[in-house]
């Protein structure tokens, strides 16, 4: 089995397992992951942050619903539980974005065993402080199993889960302004995607992309987009004659260099998947990517997924010296730095046989 230590440049499209130490998160599903590469992170013990950190929020397994945050320091592959018993975190199938301006993680919605949520909360990384951003009326109904993307000072959500396999009766696109702490309904022309949950939403520059999801027994495979640069916004549905991914839900995805990458999920008819597909935003074509060591990552759904960006020159030096970094990661980068290595990170999830995972994998996706 291939293992990776963040001390060299990994081969492209080769899955590697991370052999982590420390306070490893208990097996879980429905959790979220954020990567932060930021020099103002505060230190925990003797660790340093020259490779950045991944934060895992919440989630659940058949025994419990978690109210914690775990941090994985990439330079040491050491897990540290930094928050425990925070009630606003006691949920699963919520959505999470990293907000660089405030060095904070914003999380919305989700559910516990009793109800669904529609609150927006902020976790300040340096201060380890929480703040509720939504007070009073809220135009967005409680929902689960949706995804969100951040662009500038706002994050966007579409649809989500209501009860069991049913989606909310809502096909609106919503925008939350983090600075003013207000929701608004985004006016979009055209036929919107059907209501759904377990879909994947990503952004390239200022274009939103929405893929897959399900509602009751209906699984979706179509890709949609909205170009937010346009004065009048329209839903665009892509129909291609080439191969495209099987209809699926509860999958994960990242965006990098004018491409979308989606992995795994629950396929139409019930199989858990471990395939990887790429959508080229320029040619408007899907490509199935053949990965080496694909068998080491079990088919799964409802896992945590995020994009990692590492300075290539630091990996080439194979050094653990501290250095300053001013860039931060999210899925809506306006440009791509030629010296960055892009990795898809996968943690946990479950298969269709009831096994819940606590493993971590990375896959290099950049083509530089």
Instruction: Select the more confidently predicted residue: 284 or 334.
Output: 284
Our count of domains for the chain comes to 1
CATH number at residue 30: 2.120.10.80
| pLDDT confidence tier of residue 335, bands split at 50, 70 and 90 | very low
pLDDT at 272: 98
For the segment 290-317, the average pLDDT, to the nearest whole number, is 90
9 is a domain residue = no
Q: Which single residue is written with the structure tokens 């060591």?
A: 293
**d(C-alpha 114, C-alpha 363), whole Å:** 36
pLDDT digits (tens, 9 = 90+) for 164-197: 999 999 999 999 999 999 999 999 999 999 999 9
pLDDT at 55: 98
11 is a domain residue = no
**d(C-alpha 231, C-alpha 234), whole Å:** 10
Query: Of 303, 226, 307, which Cα lies nearest the Cα of 266?
Result: 303
Question: What is the domain range of residue 284?
Answer: 16-364
347 is a domain residue = yes
pLDDT digits (tens, 9 = 90+) for 129-150: 999 999 878 999 999 999 899 9
324 is a domain residue = yes
7 is a domain residue = no
2 is a domain residue = no
6 is a domain residue = no
With beta carbons less than 8 A apart as the criterion, state whether 29 and 37 touch.
no
163 is a domain residue = yes
The terminus-to-terminus CA distance of the chain in angstroms comes to: 25
pLDDT digits (tens, 9 = 90+) for 236-257: 999 877 789 999 999 999 999 9
pLDDT at 38: 61
């Amino acid at each position: 089995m291939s293992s990776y230590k963040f001390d060299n440049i990994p081969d492209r499209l080769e899955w590697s397992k991370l052999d982590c130490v420390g306070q490893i998160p208990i097996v879980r599903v429905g959790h979220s992951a954020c990567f932060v590469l930021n020099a103002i992170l505060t230190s925990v013990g003797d660790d340093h942050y020259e490779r950045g950190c991944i934060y895992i929020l919440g989630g659940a397994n058949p025994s419990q619903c978690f109210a914690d945050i775990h941090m994985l320091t990439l330079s040491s592959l050491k897990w540290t539980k930094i928050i425990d018993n925070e009630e606003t975190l006691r949920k699963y199938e919520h959505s999470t974005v990293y907000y660089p301006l405030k060095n904070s993680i914003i999380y919305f919605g989700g559910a516990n065993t009793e109800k669904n949520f529609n609150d927006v909360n902020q976790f300040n990384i340096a201060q380890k402080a929480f703040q509720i951003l939504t007070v009073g009326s809220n135009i967005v109904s409680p929902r689960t199993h949706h995804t969100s993307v951040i662009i500038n000072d706002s994050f966007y959500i579409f649809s989500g889960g209501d009860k069991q396999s049913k989606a909310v009766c809502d096909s609106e696109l919503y925008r939350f302004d983090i600075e003013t702490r207000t929701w608004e309904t985004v006016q979009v022309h055209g036929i919107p995607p059907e209501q759904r949950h377990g879909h994947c939403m990503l952004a390239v520059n200022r274009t939103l992309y929405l893929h897959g999801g399900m509602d009751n027994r209906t699984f979706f495979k179509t890709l949609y987009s909205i170009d937010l640069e346009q004065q009048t916004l329209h839903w665009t549905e892509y129909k291609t004659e080439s191969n495209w991914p099987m209809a699926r839900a509860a999958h994960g995805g990242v965006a990098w260099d004018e491409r979308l990458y989606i992995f795994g999920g629950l396929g139409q008819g019930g199989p858990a998947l471990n395939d990887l597909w790429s959508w080229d935003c320029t040619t408007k074509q899907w490509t199935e990517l053949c990965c080496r060591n694909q068998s080491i990552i079990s088919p799964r759904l409802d896992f945590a997924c995020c994009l990692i960006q590492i300075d290539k020159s630091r990996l080439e030096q194979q050094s653990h010296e501290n250095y300053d970094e001013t860039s931060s990661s999210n899925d809506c980068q306006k440009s791509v730095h030629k010296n960055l290595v892009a990795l898809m990170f996968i943690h946990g999830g479950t298969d269709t046989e009831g096994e819940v995972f606590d493993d971590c994998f990375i896959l290099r996706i950049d083509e530089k």
